[in-house]
Amino acid sequence: MSATLVFMESADDELSQQAVTFAGQLGGEMSAVAIDAGEAYAPAAWAQTLVELAQERGATAVVGPGTDRGNEVLAHVAAKLDQPMSANCMNVTPGEPATVTRMRWGGSLLEEARVHGAPLLLTVAPHAVAATPAADVQVMAVSGSASDADRVVRVSETVPASTAGVSLADADVVVSGGRGVGSSEGFSVIEELAALLGGAVGCSRAVTSAGWRPHSDQVGQTGTKISPEIYIACGISGATQHMAGCKGAKRLLAINPDGEASIFASADYAVIGDLHEVVPAISAEIRKARGT
């Protein structure tokens, strides 16, 4: 008889709800748990709580969301049980061994793997499935039998963010510049267009490596993952590193002088041209349309 335990960051967290939907593929009994919001985050202690619960319920699988905390807590569970763990799964077929399809390279490549171990431990790639609100989420305290060592690493303080402008992750419009911008000063035209549209400024990894923009502006596999209504990519070639961060955008407008640039293969709209001419022309056209 199979039984699946799903770790949720909270009952209303969308990626955790996706993990619940995903776990439905495993069949058998399913229970969903979240740690009480009043508990300080302590990954090892949270994992210990899950390990005890999994053992009590005879869980054949423990599933979590492919979030920072989901991947971290499941890695702790895996280390405690000395069992394999598959991060960011898109698909699973139970069995001995189970087989999974999981994301590599931030989703630019997939891997099929056999998992030799029990219980089956995995996290679910964000947006691999639609979310279903779990009917019955058990909210619980951290297990009293978590050791002192499990409690050493815990959040002791939270420093609030200085809220300046639209955040890249939440913006409806993101205007980004790549190597083609040419310099730090070159970003003034990108900033102008972003401001006119009430959007955020982004950039590619080449730009942060060159020191033209702070890393907090970087869109990509190792930067921010964005999901705007429209992403305007200026002078960006379309490396897989970058595309892994903007694949959540509903529409992509690419502006690039090279008609063969690989970004055009992922774009909905294309402007062939030099961003230094095109972007100011768009800003001027917006002003004209608004009569300002």
Partner 1 sequence: MNILVCVKRVPLTGGKITLTEDEQAIQTRHLGFTVSPHEECAAEEAIRLVEAHGGESVVLTLGPAEAEEQLRDMMAIGIDRGIHLVTDGGEWDPQATAAAIVDAVRADGTQFDLLLFGNESADAGNYQVAVRVAYALGLPVVNGIKGISVDGAGLRCERERTSHPPGRDVYAVPMPAVVTVLEGINLPRYPSVPGRMRAKRKPLAAAEPARAQPRLEMVRLKLPASSSKQAEVLGHGADAAPRVVEILSEIGVM
Q: Decide: 134 and 183 in contact? Cβ < 8 Å.
A: no
Spatial contact of 98 and 63, defined as CB atoms under 8 Å apart: no
Rg (CA), the chain: 22
Burial classification of residue 127, based on how many CB atoms lie within 10 Å of its CB (0-12 exposed, 13-18 middle, 19 or more buried): middle
Q: Measured from the CB atom, is 3 or 169 closer to partner 1? A: 169
Cα(223)–Cα(216) distance, integer angstroms:
7
Determine, following the binding rule CB under 8 A, whether residue 284 of this chain makes contact with partner 1: yes
The answer to whether 11 contacts partner 1 (rule: CB under 8 A) is no
Residue 204 in contact with partner 1, rule: CB under 8 A: no
Of 2, 3, 13, 227, the one binding partner 1 (CB under 8 A) is 13
Which two three-digit tokens encode residue 84?
């394999």
The Cα–Cα gap between 81 and 44 comes to 12
CB of 87 vs partner 1, minimal distance in Å: 5
Residue with tokens 């990954």: 43
Distance (Å, whole) CA 164 – CA 183: 23
Indicate the SS3 state at residue 262.
helix
- Residues 231-250: x/- map of binding to partner 1 (CB under 8 A)? ------xxxxx---------
Q: Does 64 bind partner 1 (CB under 8 A)?
A: no
CB of 154 to partner 1, least distance (A): 7
- Pair of tokens at residue 190: 């990108």
Residue from 17, 38, 219 nearest 141 by CA: 38
Q: Which of 136, 160, 185, 292 binds partner 1 (CB under 8 A)?
A: 160
Residue closer to partner 1 (CB basis): 30 or 186 = 186
Binding-site residue total for partner 1 (CB under 8 A)? 103
Are 123 and 64 spatial neighbours (Cβ–Cβ below 8 Å)?
yes
Q: Does 179 bind partner 1 (CB under 8 A)?
A: no
CB of 85 to partner 1, least distance (A): 6
Residue closer to partner 1 (CB basis): 29 or 97: 97
The 85-124 contact track toward partner 1, x by CB under 8 A, reads xxxx--------x-x---xxxxxxxxxxxxxxx-----x-
266 is a contact residue toward partner 1 (CB under 8 A): yes
Binding mask 125-154 for partner 1 (x = CB under 8 A): ------------------------x--xxx
